[in-house]
Chains A and B, each alone.
Chain A
Amino acid sequence: MKLKDIAHSRTGDKGDTINISVIAFDEKDYPIIKKQVTTAKVRRFLGETVKGEVVRYELPKLGAMNFVMQKALRGGVTRSLRLDKHGKTLSSMLLEMPLNTND
C-alpha cells in the first residue's frame, strides 16, 4: 500500500519554506498515517529536495497532518532554478511513500 491509497495532499509555499498537507480520505485511517508518516520518514523520502528542518503538525479533528519544511525551494519562488519553483509537485511525490500494511 502507498500513502496515495489512503490520503490526499497539497503543497503551499512561503519564501523558501513549503508546507505539505497529508489528509486521510477516511478519518479512520488517520492513526496509520500518524504512526507511519513521521518527520524522519518524510525527510528521507524527499531526500536532497529539502535542505532545512521538517516539522509536523497534527490535526486529529481533520484526520490530517501538516509538514512544514525549510530551505525547500532552492532560495524561494523568484530565485529557484527548478522547473517547479513553488514545489507544488512535491505533494503528489510524497503520496508515493510506501506504507506498512500490517498497521
Chain B
Amino acid sequence: MMPEKTIRIGSGAGYSGDRIEPAVDLIKEGDLDYIIFECLAERTIALAQLQKMQNPELGYDPFLEERMKACLPHCVSNKVKLISNMGAANPIAAAKKTAEVGRELGLADLKIAAVFGDDVISMLDFSANKFLESGDSLSVLGDEIISANAYLGVEGILMALEDGADIILTGRVADPSLFLAPLVHEFGWSMEDYPLLGKGTALGHLMECAGQVCGGYFADGVKKQVPNLGNLGFPIAEIGSDGSFHITKLKDSGGMVNAATCKEQLLYEVHDPSAYLTPNVVADFSNIHFKEIENDKVEVYGASGKALTGKLKVSVGYHDGYMADAQISYGGSYALERGNLAIEIIKERLQTKNLLVEDILFDLIGVNSLFKEDVSDINPQEIRLRVAAKTKDREEALELVNEVETLYTNGPAAGGGVSKSITEIIAIQSILIDKDQVKPKVEYFKS
C-alpha cells in the first residue's frame, strides 16, 4: 500500500565542480519538491576558510553564483526548494550573494537562509582533543591550525524549513543530513524514531553523489555498459511518510539506475555498513536490498537505524608543509634504464646535500606509477620519471625540484620536458566533540 504522502527529491551535484545542466533538467522536469546540492568535500572547507581570511565576503563555493543563476528561475517557477552546503566556510556571504543573484534575475521575495554554527575553532581544547587517526593531541600543531568544522545534523536546516525558507545554504553538514532534513520536516518524523531516520539517511547516502547512482563512475566499457554517459542524468528519489522509497531518473536522460549502480553507491565511503555514523542516527545499511521495479527505477528495502552517539565529527584543517613534484621524460631505447639511473642520481644527491624530506616517491609513469608491486618485464619506449616529495619548508621543496631539473645537463642521456611544481599542503584530520556543545544558528536574507 502506498503511504499517504510522498516527497520527490532530486540530487543536483555530487561535488562542487559537477555539471550544472542535469540539475537544471531535474528542476524543470523532475516534478520535484526539493533539490539538494552536495558540494563540500572533506578538505574543501579548510581551503574555503583560508579564502575567507583573505576576504570576509568570500569562502563559499566558487560555483555558487553560476549554479544559482542557472537554477533559481526554474526553482521559483516549479516551486522547488533548494538546499545546499555551498555556504562552505561562509554561509552568510553565500546567502547574501544568492539574494543578489535573485534580485538580478527579477525574483523578488525569495527567503534565503544561512545555516551556520559548524565553525568550532574557538571551542577547541588543544590538550584534551585528540586526533582520531594519529592519537596526537591538537597541541602538537599549535599555530598551524586553520579551521575546525563540525558535521552538523538536520537541526539548523529544520529551523529554516519551519520558518518557510525557499533556499537554504549551510556550511559543514553531514552529507545525508541535507536529504534527511526535508523528510523530517515534511513528514513530522520524531528525532527519536531511529529506524525512520536510518531510512532517510540511506536515501541521502544513495543520492549524495548525484550521477554516481545513475551509472556515473560505473562503466568499465566491457562488462558494465552504461548508455549515453555524455548526457548522464542525476537521480530523483520518491519517498513516502513511512520511509519507503525508490530511486529513479528522468526518462530522456543518459545513464541507468539498477541494483548494481545502487549497490556500488551504497557502500561508497562506508566503513561498517551496520553502523554508519551521522549526527542524527547511527544508520544500519546491513540489511538493505534493492529491487528493480521498472526500467531505471529501484525500490530500496531494509534500511534502519539505532540511537546516535552524542558526538560530532570535526574536520580540523592545518598547514602541513609543502609538496614538491618534478618530472622528466626519457624516450626510445633504454628509456627505463635511464629513468632508473636518474632515480639513483637523485637519491645520491639527496644524501650528499643532506636534503630533508618527510616522504618521497619515485614514479616511473607508464611502468609503475599506480601498482608498484606488479611490475615485471616491461620494456617501454617512453617513460616519465616523477619525483614527488613532502617537505617541511618551501626551500627544501625548491631544492628538490631543482635537483630534477639539473638532470638536463648532469643526468642520463636525452632527458626532456621537465616540469616542476610546489604546493602548500592543507592537511585534514578528525576529532570528536560533544554534540551538546554545538548550536546551529540561522539567519535570513531576502532577494
- Which residues of A are in contact with B by a Cβ distance under 8 Å? 4, 8-10, 12-17, 19, 21, 23, 25, 47-49, 57, 59, 61-62, 64, 66, 68, 74-79, 81-84, 89, 92-93
- Chain B residues near A49: list those with CB within 8 A: 371-373
* Complex Cα–Cα for A53 and B365 (A): 28
B220 cross-chain contacts in A, Cβ below 8 A: 8, 92
> Are A78 and B427 CB-contacts (below 8 A) given A21-B263, A48-B372, A62-B263?
yes
* Candidates A8, A59, A93; contact of B264 at CB < 8 Å: A8
A10 to B219, CA, bound (A): 11
What residues on A are CB-neighbors of B43 within 8 Å? 77-78
Provide the main secondary structure of the chain B interface.
Answer: mixed
Minimal Cβ-Cβ distance residue in A for B369: A83
5 contacts between A and B (CB under 8 A): A8-B264, A57-B271, A79-B390, A79-B425, A83-B386
Given contacts A21-B268, A61-B289, A81-B360, contact A76 B427 (CB under 8 A): yes
- Which residues of chain B (181-222) have a CB below 8 Å from chain A? 217, 220
Instruction: Tell me the bound Cα distance from A19 to B220 in angstroms.
Output: 19
Size class of B's contact patch?
Answer: 35 or more
Q: Among B42, B263, B287, which residue has its beta carbon within 8 angstroms of that of A14?
A: B42
Quick one: which of B290, B370, B425, B426 has the most chain A CB within 10 A?
Answer: B370
Which residues of the other chain, A, contact B367 by a CB distance below 8 angstroms?
none
Contact B271 A68 (CB under 8 A): yes
> In the assembled complex, which residues on chain A have CB atoms less than 8 Å from the CB atom of B388?
81-82
**Chain A: minimal CB distance from B240 (Å):** 21
A81 B361 Cβ-Cβ under 8 A: yes
Residues on B with C-beta less than 8 A from A68 are: 271-272
B89 to chain A minimum Cβ distance, whole angstroms, is 16
Query: Contacts A8-B223, A81-B390: A93 and B371 contacting too (C-beta < 8 A)?
Result: yes
Q: Please judge, given known A-B contacts A15-B133, A61-B289, A78-B428, whether A10 and B267 are in contact too, CB under 8 Å.
A: yes
Given known pairs A21-B263, A83-B363, A84-B370, the reply for A77 and B42 (CB within 8 Å) is yes
What is the 8 Å Cβ interface bit string for chain B, positions 360-388, against chain A (1 contact, 0 not)?
11010100011111100000000000101
CB distance from B120 to the nearest CB of A (A): 18
Known pairs A8-B260, A48-B373; A76 contacts B428 (CB<8 A):
yes
Q: Chain B contacts of A19 at CB under 8 A?
A: 267, 269-271
Residues of B within 8 A of A4 (CB): 223
Residue of B nearest to A7 (CB): B223
Residue from the list A15, A61, A78 in contact with B287, Cβ < 8 A: A61
Determine if A17 and B271 form an interchain contact, defined as CB atoms under 8 angstroms apart: yes
* Distance (whole angstroms) from the CB of A41 to the closest CB of chain B: 15
Residues of A within 8 A of B372 (CB): 47-49
B48-87 toward A: CB 8 Å interface, digit per residue (1/0)? 0000000000000000000000000000000000000000
> If A74-B359, A77-B42, A78-B428 touch, does A57 touch B273 (CB 8 Å cutoff)?
yes
A79 to B361, CA, bound (A): 12
B100 to chain A, nearest CB (A): 32
A25 touches B260 (CB 8 A): yes
The answer to the question of B241 belonging to the interface, with a C-beta cut-off of 8 Å to chain A, is no
Q: A25-B223, A77-B42 are in contact. Are A83 and B370 (CB under 8 A)?
A: yes
Q: Is the CB of B289 within 8 A of A66?
A: no
Q: How distant is the Cα of A81 from the Cα of B132 in the complex, in angstroms?
A: 22
Contacts of B359 in A (CB 8 A): 74-75, 81
* In the complex, chain B residues whose CB is within 8 Å of the CB of A15: 42, 132-133, 428-430
Shortest Cβ distance from residue A21 to the other chain B in the assembled complex, whole angstroms: 4
CB contact under 8 A between A47 and B267, given known A15-B428, A79-B427: no
Minimal beta-carbon separation of B10 from chain A (angstroms): 22
B365 surroundings in chain A (CB, below 8 A): 83
Q: Are the C-beta atoms of A64 and B373 separated by less than 8 Å? A: no
Minimum distance in angstroms from A8 CB to a CB of chain B: 6
Q: A10 near B217 (CB under 8 angstroms)?
A: yes
